[in-house]
Amino acid sequence: MPEDFTSVSDRTFEEEVLKSELPVLVDFWATWCAPCQMVVPSLEYLAQNYKDKIKIRKLNVDENPKITSRYRVMSIPTLLFFNDGELKETIVGALPREKIVEVISKHL
């Protein structure tokens, strides 16, 4: 996981994501998940090109069962996009960067 991505946990999720001033894209992932590694370049692109518009956070599903269950994340990678504390979009699978940008851009 790149150093510039902040991890969130069951304990910090509310403060970091739901109470965030900026919209937040949360990447639900696991260390053993190869497709999860495939979305990292897309997340790096978003982190660099949308840094004043959104925050990117990562949540390890193996270490954070409460939030994973709460949002019914059944397969990974899953990207959840939150704005003003509300879940706005769910992206399941390792989609191309253009598709991820298209999905979140409609909320910015």
Domains in the chain, please, with CATH? 6-105 (3.40.30.10)
Q: How far is CA 51 from CA 47, 71, 106, in A?
A: 5, 25, 16
Q: Mean of the pLDDT values across residues 27-50?
A: 94
Share of the chain above pLDDT 90, in %: 89
Determine contact, residues 78/91, Cβ cutoff 8 Å: yes
For residue 56, pLDDT over 80 is answered with: yes
Residue 4 is predicted with a pLDDT of 58
Positions annotated as catalytic residues are: 33, 36
Residue 1 is predicted with a pLDDT of 41
Task: Report the distance separating Cα 46 and Cα 16, nearest Å.
Answer: 18
Q: What is the pLDDT of residues 25-34, one digit of tens each?
A: 999 999 999 9
Residue 2 is predicted with a pLDDT of 44
- pTM summary value: 0.93
Q: Mean of the pLDDT values across residues 69-80?
A: 97
Task: Report the distance separating Cα 23 and Cα 38, nearest Å.
Answer: 23
For residue 40, pLDDT over 80 is answered with: yes
- Please state, rounded to an integer, the average pLDDT across all residues of the chain: 93
Q: Mean of the pLDDT values across residues 87-108?
A: 93
